[in-house]
Amino acid sequence: MAAFEKRRLWLAVLAALALAFPLLVTNGYYLHMMTISFIWMIAVYGLNLFAGYTGYLSLAHAGFFAIGAYTLGILTVKVGLPFWGAFVLSAIFTSLLGLVIGLVALRTKEHFFAIYTLCVGYIIYLVIDKWDSLTGGVRGFIGIPAPADIGPLSFQTPVAQYYLVLFFLCAVMFVMYRLVYSLTGRTYIAIRNSEELALTLGISTMKNKLASFVLSVFFTALAGALYASFIRFLGPDIAYVTVMFDFLTYLLVGGIGTLAGPVVGTLLITFLSQQLQFLQDYRMLIFGPVLTLLIIFYPHGIAGGFIRLSAKRKETRRLQEEAKQTAAELAVSRQGRSERHVEEG
């Protein structure tokens, strides 16, 4: 109970800091970077759901992120749909596409699945890059509108867009929390731990893997649509493999298969990237070896390592208390035997 109250206290403090951030930091650049970080977090939560809790590594999520972004741009600029209608349709369209791809991709397993999705992601990048008449190709896609007003709520300022993205991030985190601690989440974890054992228990692994994949694609497409409405300019680079590498870096550094991992990893790497901008040309040479060393010596990430350390400490305290209790019971028993010997003597 105390641990639960402590967790709620930490969540309340973090929520208060997130809400007060635009008031505490007046620099527009930091507000911009924090909003972008929130968008990345939503995309990483999508990847975490499938890779961290279901156990399948998808390397096509940067492509789905780009599809969500470009779909919003095409529907608003070329088709002329209202913003929020296009926003919803972009996430639904990308999810349906993910359903079709998942039906084929999930017939493979382990590294074959990762290789297949990597190829899918690269094909998406090529389509965006070469289809000039639809996506603008290398020239980019411009003119994407900002989020439309909802009654008295206006999202035309950076602060308002910050709170809008924060709202969607909190909604995604809430859904992830309820999902992970539900029977469905336990089913995903069972598939991750042993798909063969899950099959013997009567779990429909294909159906559950497909549902997890489609929901993860939905989260990533949602992040892509938010990115398009915030940046309002798109280029094919958002579908490239380097973006997928960023998603993986955020997830692995923060802690794959943890609820806090996407937040911790994204904030840490984004902050370090901004502080090391003068080394931007050598970014891959720096983060590549660091990520490799992290996987070797700290495979559960920052949040995962902290959770395991806390669990180990709790287990150590429990064992110590049991040992003390056992020692006390033995002492009482010996004292009782001694008293009986004295009485008999």
Report the distance separating Cα 233 and Cα 134, nearest Å: 14
Residue 2 has pLDDT above 80, yes or no: no
Write down the pLDDT at residue 63.
94
Q: Closest Cα partner for 95 from 267, 274, 223, 188?
A: 223
* DSSP helix/strand/coil, 233: strand
Q: Closest Cα partner for 173 from 219, 230, 142, 211?
A: 219
Write down the pLDDT at residue 213.
94
Both tokens of residue 16?
């208060």
Q: Closest Cα partner for 148 from 94, 74, 85, 68?
A: 85
Q: What is the pLDDT of residues 145-164, one digit of tens each?
A: 889 888 888 888 889 999 99
**Taking a C-beta distance cutoff of 8 angstroms, is the pair 212, 113 a contact?**
no
Report the distance separating Cα 56 and Cα 196, nearest Å: 14
The helix (H) or strand (E) run that includes residue 47 is helix 28-53
Residue with tokens 């779909």: 71
Residue 198 has pLDDT above 50, yes or no: yes
Q: Give the CB-side neighbour count of residue 322, counting CA atoms within 13 A.
A: 6
Q: What is the pLDDT of residues 94-104, one digit of tens each?
A: 999 999 999 99
Backbone angles phi, psi at 233, to 5 degrees: -150, 135
Report the distance separating Cα 248 and Cα 214, nearest Å: 18
Q: What is the pLDDT of residues 216-261, one digit of tens each?
A: 999 999 999 999 999 988 989 999 888 998 898 899 888 888 888 8
Report the distance separating Cα 68 and Cα 224, nearest Å: 5
More confident residue, 21 or 296: 21
Write down the pLDDT at residue 65.
95
Residue 345 has pLDDT above 60, yes or no: no
Q: Closest Cα partner for 163 from 23, 321, 322, 9?
A: 23
Write down the pLDDT at residue 279.
64
Residue 44 has pLDDT above 80, yes or no: yes
**Residues facing 234 on adjacent strands:** 141
Residue 274 has pLDDT above 50, yes or no: yes
Write down the pLDDT at residue 12.
80
Residue 210 has pLDDT above 90, yes or no: yes
Quickly list DSSP for 321-345.
HHHHHHHHHHHHHHHHHHHHHHHH-
| Cβ partners under 8 Å of residue 77, min gap 6 | 141, 143, 144, 145
Looking at residue 150, what DSSP letter applies?
Answer: B
- 120: confidence class by pLDDT, cuts 50, 70, 90: very high
Q: What is the pLDDT of residues 319-340, one digit of tens each?
A: 777 777 877 777 767 766 666 6
Report the distance separating Cα 292 and Cα 59, nearest Å: 18
Report the distance separating Cα 185 and Cα 191, nearest Å: 10
**Taking a C-beta distance cutoff of 8 angstroms, is the pair 226, 42 a contact?**
yes
Looking at residue 141, what DSSP letter applies?
Answer: E
Q: Closest Cα partner for 265 from 240, 246, 290, 292?
A: 246
Residue 278 has pLDDT above 70, yes or no: no
Write down the pLDDT at residue 1.
47
More confident residue, 312 or 182: 182
- 277: confidence class by pLDDT, cuts 50, 70, 90: low
- 43: confidence class by pLDDT, cuts 50, 70, 90: very high
Termini Cα distance of the chain: 51
More confident residue, 231 or 302: 231
10-19, 39-48, 161-170, 176-185: the lowest-pLDDT one? 10-19
Residue with tokens 């806090």: 260
As a whole number, mean pLDDT of residues 275-300 equals: 72
**Taking a C-beta distance cutoff of 8 angstroms, is the pair 64, 98 a contact?**
yes
Write down the pLDDT at residue 326.
78
* Whole-number average pLDDT of the chain: 86
